[in-house]
A and B are shown apart, each in its own frame.
Chain A
Amino acid sequence: MTDAGIVIVGGGHAGLSIAEALRRKGYEGRLQLLNAEAGLPYQRPPLSKQFLKGEWDEARLVQRNAGFYTKQRIERLSSAKVISIDPAQHTLSLENGAQLHWQKLALAMGSRLRRLAVPGSDARGVYYLHSLHHALALREAMTKARRIVVIGGGFIGLEAACAFASAGKQVTLLDRADTLLSRSASTPVASYLQQLHSGKGVQIENRARVTEIAVSNAEVSGVRLDDGQFFAADIVLVGIGVEPEVALAEMAGLACSDGVQVDAYCLTSHPDIVAAGDIARFHHPLYNRSVRLESIQNAVEQGKHAAGTLLGMRDEYRAVPWFWSDQYDTKLQIAGLSADHDLEVIRGDEHSGRFSVFCYAQKQLVAVETLNAPADHMIARRLIQAGVSPKPDDAANPDFDLRSLL
């Protein structure tokens, strides 16, 4: 099977990054990109932002146009759903009955939605937001809705709430945790965002435990909490996170544990199979712990390393994770991972809407969250990458030039 070449499973940001990087790094052989969705690979971040707000159309979401794939000799298979992988035979099977051979395989299946599991959650009018088809359905439904309940105070819930509120809807956001973005952001940032959304008319309920989606004639009519509170809704958006799409990898016998286990070079437990993006769990050398990251930066950069590994290069993946979110006129950027930090230092005025939170763990700078302070974000990424921790007093002093430490 000399012409089997490399097969990439997944047409999201990681899959496309692997394909592009293979060509840029000089791979000349056969290259197949299997996309479970129809159409050209598209950008996901705008789905909950410009696209939901109606500012962008579908054509604008496309990452690379069709001519690019032809020119790069990337065989793009759309609506290609893989149902099994056989590592011993170096084959995989598609839902349509076709079997493909591969010499090397890249897994970039990403993640799948976590579904709400309470009575009524399968009613009409309950929406999710993960892929283009979800965004299309939600964008259509929101035009007719007056009252919208958002379940989940993470990035998706907050960005969607922003789009709904900006469209003049009556929005209620229900979040289980004590503070918004509890998985990702520090308290000062969470407090600021809570005020920001409240100021735009979004009613936020923290520590909200949803027990039931109320249904009337098979349509959603509201959301009930465990304390008896009821919020009427024309539609409900559920944004309670995603899970790695590991079923195929598990069936294939690859080592998995909340993600496909990969080493520092994106190699799975099979020597001819790499994985990258939302699906991959790896030991992060900067944080000395196992992580699985759901972000564009990780999908794109890890994809490049996975491509290198497929070509026999060994380039350790040790990039600083970074994330962003745009809400109203506020740009939130996060450099690094803040879990387990024990010190927060604020740079700038917390009430001005332009400040940064420097998060330290055992005196080491581990993350910096910035609101409308993009230069701080860029410098923070370089500081964390270099392992440089500013003294907390210097970090807190806006007149101290952080660049002088680099």
Chain B
Amino acid sequence: MVKITYVEADGRRYEVEAPEGWSLMEAAFQNGVEGIEAECGGACNCATCHVYFDERYIDKVPQPSATEDEMLECTAAERRSNSRLSCQIELTSELDGMVINLPDTQI
């Protein structure tokens, strides 16, 4: 299991555990983290699972694919250098303990 902390834009925190192999979006969604809409359920179709990734861990995940990169241009909240779509991040043991910040809007 991988431990992740999600922090909503208003400061609410969720401590979540999810199996390796799941996506960062699924771990949030199943546990009812509100700041992730994930309208398309994780198919990289909607850009509503936008997160600000933990800078300390950013080297431990692959760079965004061309599709994700295009979708990141279409997020509702500002794109930053650590912006990712959480449905495209696969959980691994290396990511244990990371803290993910959520934007103030997804739509």
Which residues of A line the B interface, CB within 8 A?
Answer: 24, 43, 45-46, 49, 60, 62-65, 67-68, 71-72, 296-297, 300, 324, 326, 331, 333, 372-375, 377-379
**Residues A375 and B74 in contact, CB atoms below 8 Å apart:** yes
Known interface pairs A324-B40, A374-B71, A375-B73; A71-B45 also in contact (CB < 8 Å): no
Q: When chains A and B are docked, how far (Å) is the Cα of A190 from the Cα of B84? A: 32
Contacts of B34 in A (CB 8 A): 24
Instruction: Choose, from B1-9, B23-31, B50-58, B94-102, the stretch at the interface.
Output: B23-31
**Residues A375 and B70 in contact, CB atoms below 8 Å apart:** yes
Q: Mark B24-47, 1 if CB is under 8 A from A, else 0.
A: 001001111010000111011101
B40 in complex: contacting residue of A296, A372, A379, CB < 8 Å? A296
Contacts of B44 in A (CB 8 A): 331, 374
**Residues B26 and A60 in contact, CB atoms below 8 Å apart:** yes
Min CB distance, A11 to chain B, in Å?
A: 16
Contacts of A43 in B (CB 8 A): 41
Contacts of A62 in B (CB 8 A): 30
Any chain A CB within 8 A of the CB of B82? no
**Residues A331 and B67 in contact, CB atoms below 8 Å apart:** yes
**Residues B30 and A63 in contact, CB atoms below 8 Å apart:** yes
Q: When chains A and B are docked, how far (Å) is the Cα of A62 from the Cα of B74? A: 27
Q: When chains A and B are docked, how far (Å) is the Cα of A65 from the Cα of B31? A: 6
Known interface pairs A372-B67, A374-B67; A68-B31 also in contact (CB < 8 Å): yes
Contacts of B30 in A (CB 8 A): 62-65, 68
**Residues A72 and B32 in contact, CB atoms below 8 Å apart:** yes
Between-chain CB contacts (< 8 Å), 23 pairs = A24-B34, A43-B41, A46-B41, A49-B43, A63-B29, A64-B30, A64-B32, A65-B30, A65-B32, A68-B30, A296-B39, A297-B39, A297-B40, A300-B39, A331-B43, A333-B45, A373-B70, A374-B44, A374-B67, A378-B47, A378-B71, A378-B73, A378-B74
> Taking CB as reference atom, which chain B residue is nearest A71?
B32
Q: Mark B57-73, 1 if CB is under 8 A from A, else 0.
A: 00000000001001101
Contacts of B45 in A (CB 8 A): 324, 331, 333, 374, 377
Q: When chains A and B are docked, how far (Å) is the Cα of A43 from the Cα of B101? A: 25
Min CB distance, A67 to chain B, in Å?
A: 7
Contacts of A379 in B (CB 8 A): 74
Contacts of B47 in A (CB 8 A): 378
Q: When chains A and B are docked, how far (Å) is the Cα of A46 from the Cα of B39? A: 13
Q: When chains A and B are docked, how far (Å) is the Cα of A314 from the Cα of B83? A: 35
Contacts of A65 in B (CB 8 A): 30-32
> Taking CB as reference atom, which chain B residue is nearest A376?
B70
Pair count A-B, CB < 8 A: 59
> Taking CB as reference atom, which chain A residue is nearest B47?
A378
Q: When chains A and B are docked, how far (Å) is the Cα of A372 from the Cα of B45? A: 10
Q: When chains A and B are docked, how far (Å) is the Cα of A45 from the Cα of B30? A: 16
B22 in complex: contacting residue of A24, A60, A377, A378, CB < 8 Å? A60
Contacts of B74 in A (CB 8 A): 374-375, 378-379
Min CB distance, A131 to chain B, in Å?
A: 16
Contacts of A60 in B (CB 8 A): 22, 26
Q: When chains A and B are docked, how far (Å) is the Cα of A173 from the Cα of B31? A: 39
> Taking CB as reference atom, which chain A residue is nearest B45?
A324
Instruction: Please provide the 10 A-B residue pairs with the shortest distance between their CB atoms, ordered closest to farther.
Output: A378-B74, A68-B32, A375-B70, A324-B45, A65-B30, A43-B41, A374-B70, A374-B71, A45-B41, A374-B67
Min CB distance, B50 to chain A, in Å?
A: 12
Q: When chains A and B are docked, how far (Å) is the Cα of A373 from the Cα of B31? A: 31
> Taking CB as reference atom, which chain A residue is nearest B30?
A65
Q: When chains A and B are docked, how far (Å) is the Cα of A379 from the Cα of B39? A: 17
Q: When chains A and B are docked, how far (Å) is the Cα of A63 from the Cα of B36? A: 13
Min CB distance, B41 to chain A, in Å?
A: 5
Min CB distance, B83 to chain A, in Å?
A: 15
**Residues B71 and A324 in contact, CB atoms below 8 Å apart:** no
Contacts of B32 in A (CB 8 A): 64-65, 67-68, 71-72
Q: When chains A and B are docked, how far (Å) is the Cα of A379 from the Cα of B45? A: 12
A297-B40, A375-B73 provided; 14 other pairs, C-beta below 8 A?
A45-B40, A49-B43, A63-B30, A64-B29, A67-B32, A68-B30, A68-B31, A71-B32, A296-B39, A296-B40, A324-B43, A331-B45, A374-B67, A377-B45
Min CB distance, A397 to chain B, in Å?
A: 18
Q: When chains A and B are docked, how far (Å) is the Cα of A300 from the Cα of B37? A: 10
Of B29, B41, B67, B70, most buried by chain A (CB within 10 Å of CB) is B41
Contacts of A67 in B (CB 8 A): 31-32
Q: When chains A and B are docked, how far (Å) is the Cα of A186 from the Cα of B50? A: 31
> Taking CB as reference atom, which chain B residue is nearest A373?
B70
Q: When chains A and B are docked, how far (Å) is the Cα of A333 from the Cα of B40? A: 11
Q: When chains A and B are docked, how far (Å) is the Cα of A64 from the Cα of B39? A: 14
